[in-house]
Amino acid sequence: MLSYIIRRTLYVIPVVFGVALITFLLFNVVGWNAASQMLGKRATPEEIAALEKQLGLSGPLPEQFLHYLKQIVTFDFGRSFATQQKISTLILDGVLPSLSLAVPIFLIDLVVAIVVALLAAYYRNTWVDRAIVVGAVMGMSVSTLVYILAGQYLLAYEWELFPIWGFESVKFLVLPVVIGFISGLGSGVRFYRTVVLDEMYQDYVRTAFAKGHTERSVLFKHVLKNAMIPILTSVVLSIPFLYTGNLLLENFFGIPGLGYLSVEAIFSTDYPVIKAVVFVGSVMYVFASLLTDICYALVDPRIKLR
Amino acid sequence: MSDAPATTLWQTAWRQLRRNRLALACLLIIVLYALIALYAEGAYRFYKFRDQPPPYKVVNFEHRFAGPSVRHPLGTDSLGRDVVLQVVQGTRIAFTVGILTSAIAIPIAVVLGALAGYFGRRTDDFIVWLYTVFDSMPGLLFILAVAIVVGKGLVGVCLGIGLTTWVGLCRLIRGEYIKHRERQYVLAARALGVSNLAIIFRHILPNVLHLVIISFSLRFPGAVLTEVVLSYLGVGVQGEPSWGIMISDAKLRLWQGHWYELGGATAAMFFIVLAFNLFGDALRDALDPKLRTVEAKTA
C-alpha cells in the first residue's frame, strides 16, 4: 500500500514536467512570434526584442525553458502585458470569486443530478426513465451561450428579478449560479444514471433483492454506497476544473474570477497570462488525480495488486 | 455448430438500430443536415469561384431587422442579411469543424493507443505519460490557447479541439489492444511471421473499429458546441457566418428585441447536437454489447 502511494506520488514529477514541456512547446516554440503579434504591425524591432526578453522568448530554446522552469518554481510568471500587474497576484485574486461561483453550481448540480439519476434507476425501463434521458440530452444540446443570453435577457433584463452585471453581494451570484446549474444538469444526470444503472445489474443487488429487500432500500442502502466510488472520482477530478470552469458565466456577469481573467487575456492576446493560467490549472488537476488515486487505494484494497 | 448463416457485428448492429425508431429519426436528421452542409459548401465555392459576393453576405440596410416574411422566413440581421442563408452557412462550418477535428483526433488516438497497448513496456509508459499530461490540461482554456497561438480561424479551432480531445478514445483503444494482443488469432498471426505493424493495423484494428465510429458520433456534437463558444470569444472562423458568430452578434440585438438570429442559430444547433447525441448512444448500444447497459441486460 505504502509503496503504491509513494510510487503514485512520485509520478507527479514527470507529469508536471510534461505539462511544463507542452505549455512551453505551445507558447515558446509554436508561438515564437508572440511579441510581434502582441505589439501589432507598427512595432520597431527594438520594441519587439525588449518584449521578447520580458516574455522569456529571447535566447536559445533550452535557455528559455530553464527560464520558464524558474518561473514555475518561484511561482512568478512575470507581468500581464495588458495591465502590467503581477500574474501571480492576478491568479491568487481570481481564485475566490471563481470558487464562489463554481462551488455552489457544482454542489447543486451534484445533488440534483444524483437524485434524478436515482429516480431514473428506480423507474428504469419505463417512460419516466426514457423521458429523463431524452430530457437530459436535450438539455445538453443547447449551447451554454444560449442559456446565459436567455437567462440574462429574460430574468434580469425583462423581469428585473436579478442584477445583470457585477460582483457586489450574494444577490449578484444567484442568476449565474442558476444558469450554470441548468446548463450543467443534463450531462450530470446522464453520467450518474449510467453509474447507478451499472450497479443495478451487479450480483450483490440481485442477492439483496433475493433476501427480500425492497426496491427503495436496495437503491439507497446498497447501490448508492457502491456508486460512491465512481461518484467520488468524478467529484475530485472536477475540483480543479472549478477554477477555470466558468469562463463564459464570469465574462457575461462580470465576476472577477479566473475565467474573467482568461477571457480578458484572450481578447487582448495577453499570452503570459494565458500561459500561466493554463499551467496552474493543469498542475491542480495533476494533484487532484493524485488525491483520487490515493483515496481509491485506501478504499479499495484491490488497487494494490496493480 | 448451428447452420444459421453467420452475421457480422455490423449486420447485427444495423438490425438493432433499424428497430430503434428514435435512432432512425436522428439518422435522418443527420443526413438532412449533411446535405444542407454540402449545399452550403457548394454555394460557398461557387460564389468564391465567380468572385461574387455570396447572397448570405449581401448587405441591405433598408431591410435590416426585418421580421419573418416570405422572402426572409427568419427575418434579417443588423446588416439586412438573410438569417436563413446564414444558418445554412453555419451548418457548413459546423460540419467542417466536426469532421476536421475528428480527422485530427482519431488518428492520433488510434495510432498511439494501438502502439501503447500492443507493445507495452517502454512504449506504453511513454504514451500513458503523454496522455496523462494532455488529460491534465484545462479543457476549454487549453483549446483557446492552442487556437490563438496557431492563429485565429477555422484551422486554429480545429487544431485546438483536435489536439486536446484524443485522450479518451486513446485510453479505450489501448485497453482493447492489451486484451487482443494475447488472443489466439494474434498469436497465430505472429507464429506465421506476420509483422507487428500488419498485426496491429490489419488484424486487430478491424476488431476495435466500432469504438472509432462511436467516438466519432459522440465527439461531433461536442465539437459543434465548442466551435460556437470559440467563435463567440472571437477566436473562431473569421469573416464567414457561423452559429457562434450569429449568437454573438445577436447578443447585442437582443436588448432591442430582435431574437430571430439567436433563435435560428440555436434551433439549428439544437437539432443536430441532439440527433448526434441520441444516435451516438443508440450506436454504442448496438455496436458494443459490453457497454450495453440497460435494455439488453434486463432481457
Looking up residue A178, the CATH number of its domain turns out to be 1.10.3720.10
Cell representation of residue B137:
490540461
Where does the pLDDT of residue A112 fall: very low under 50, low under 70, confident under 90, or very high at 90 and above?
A: very high
Measured in degrees and rounded to the nearest 5, phi and psi for residue A169 equal: -145, 180
pLDDT at B299: 28
Inform me whether the C-beta atom of residue A203 falls under 8 Å from chain B C-beta atoms: no
Mean pLDDT of A213-236: 80
Same-domain check for residues A224 and A112: yes
Report which of B31, B236, B223 is spatially closest to residue B148, judged by C-alpha positions: B236
Residues B22, B280 contacting (CB under 8 angstroms):
no
Inform me whether the C-beta atom of residue A175 falls under 8 Å from chain B C-beta atoms: no
Q: Which conformational region is residue B51 in: left (phi greater than 0), alpha (psi within -120 to 50 degrees), or beta?
A: left
- CB contacts < 8 Å between A and B, how many? 133
Residues B86, B241 contacting (CB under 8 angstroms):
yes
Among all residues of chain B, which has the CA nearest to that of A252? B251
* pLDDT above 70 as % of chain A: 91
- Please give the torsion angle defined by the CA atoms of residues B264, B269, B274 and B276, in that order, rounded to the nearest 10 degrees: 140
Report which of B293, B298, B267, B270 is spatially closest to residue B282, judged by C-alpha positions: B293
Same-domain check for residues A50 and A111: no
- Neighboring chain A residues of B270 at a CB cutoff of 8 Å: 138, 141-142
Measured in degrees and rounded to the nearest 5, phi and psi for residue B76 equal: -130, 165
Segment of A53-62, A87-96, B111-120 carrying the highest mean pLDDT? B111-120
Residues B112, B127 contacting (CB under 8 angstroms):
yes
Q: How many domains does chain A have?
A: 2
Which residues does chain B have with pLDDT short of 50? Answer: 1, 292-299
Same-domain check for residues A61 and A134: no
Same-domain check for residues A9 and A44: yes
> In terms of residue numbers, what domain contains A183?
96-256
Letter string b/e over residues A91-127, b meaning 16 or more CB atoms within 10 A of that residue's CB = beebeebbbebbebbbebbbebbbebbbbbbbebeee
Q: Of the candidates A213, A234, A256, which is a domain's last residue?
A: A256
pLDDT at B293: 42
Q: Of the candidates A237, A256, A275, which is a domain's last residue?
A: A256
Same-domain check for residues A44 and A167: no
Cell representation of residue B267:
434551433
Contact (CB<8Å) B277/A137? yes
pTM of the model: 0.83
pLDDT digits (tens, 9 = 90+) for A125-161: 788 888 898 898 888 888 888 888 888 777 777 777 7
Terminal C-alpha separation, chain A: 11
Same-domain check for residues A116 and A230: yes
Which of B128, B141, B157, B235 is the best residue to mutate to test the A interface, defined by the most A CB atoms within 10 Å of its own CB? B141
Report which of B34, B2, B80, B12 is spatially closest to residue B217, judged by C-alpha positions: B34
- Residue A279: inside a domain, yes or no? no
Measured in degrees and rounded to the nearest 5, phi and psi for residue A79 equal: -115, 155
- Residue A208: inside a domain, yes or no? yes
Q: Which of A129-138, A205-214, A222-231, B23-32 is least confident?
A: A222-231
Higher per-residue pLDDT: A305 or B250: B250
DSSP 3-state assignment of A118? helix
Contact (CB<8Å) B145/A19? no
Inform me whether the C-beta atom of residue B148 falls under 8 Å from chain A C-beta atoms: yes
- Residue A200: inside a domain, yes or no? yes
**Closest CB from B142, B273, B294 relative to A278:** B142
Among all residues of chain B, which has the CA nearest to that of A35? B149
Mean pLDDT of A14-32: 84
Same-domain check for residues A62 and A183: no
pLDDT over 70 (residue A281): yes
- Residue A270: inside a domain, yes or no? no
**Cβ partners under 8 Å of residue B108, min gap 6:** B162, B163, B166, B170
pLDDT at B295: 38
> How many alpha carbons lie under 13 Å from residue A213 in its C-beta half-sphere?
15
Cα angle B133, B139, B145 (rounded to 5 degrees) comes to 90
pLDDT at A304: 55
- Residue A278: inside a domain, yes or no? no
Cell representation of residue B191:
507464429
pLDDT at A157: 73
- Residue A272: inside a domain, yes or no? no
DSSP-derived letter for residue A158 is I
Q: Which of A60-64, A301-305, B232-236 is least confident?
A: A301-305
Q: Which of A1-5, A36-40, B45-49, B106-110 is least confident?
A: A36-40
Rounded to a whole number of angstroms, the distance from the CA of A285 to the nearest CA of chain B is 6
- Neighboring chain A residues of B244 at a CB cutoff of 8 Å: 145
Same-domain check for residues A142 and A218: yes
DSSP 3-state assignment of B6? coil
Q: Of the candidates A232, A256, A280, which is a domain's last residue?
A: A256
**C-alpha span between A167 and B254 (Å, rounded):** 23
Residues B146, B89 contacting (CB under 8 angstroms):
no
Mean pLDDT of A80-95: 78
Same-domain check for residues A213 and A116: yes
pLDDT at B112: 92
Same-domain check for residues A149 and A233: yes
Same-domain check for residues A35 and A124: no
pLDDT over 70 (residue A244): no
**C-alpha span between B232 and B247 (Å, rounded):** 7
Rounded to a whole number of angstroms, the distance from the CA of A50 to the nearest CA of chain B is 20
- Residue A104: inside a domain, yes or no? yes
Same-domain check for residues A105 and A161: yes
**C-alpha span between A93 and A96 (Å, rounded):** 7
pLDDT digits (tens, 9 = 90+) for A165-182: 667 677 777 788 888 888
- Residue A262: inside a domain, yes or no? no
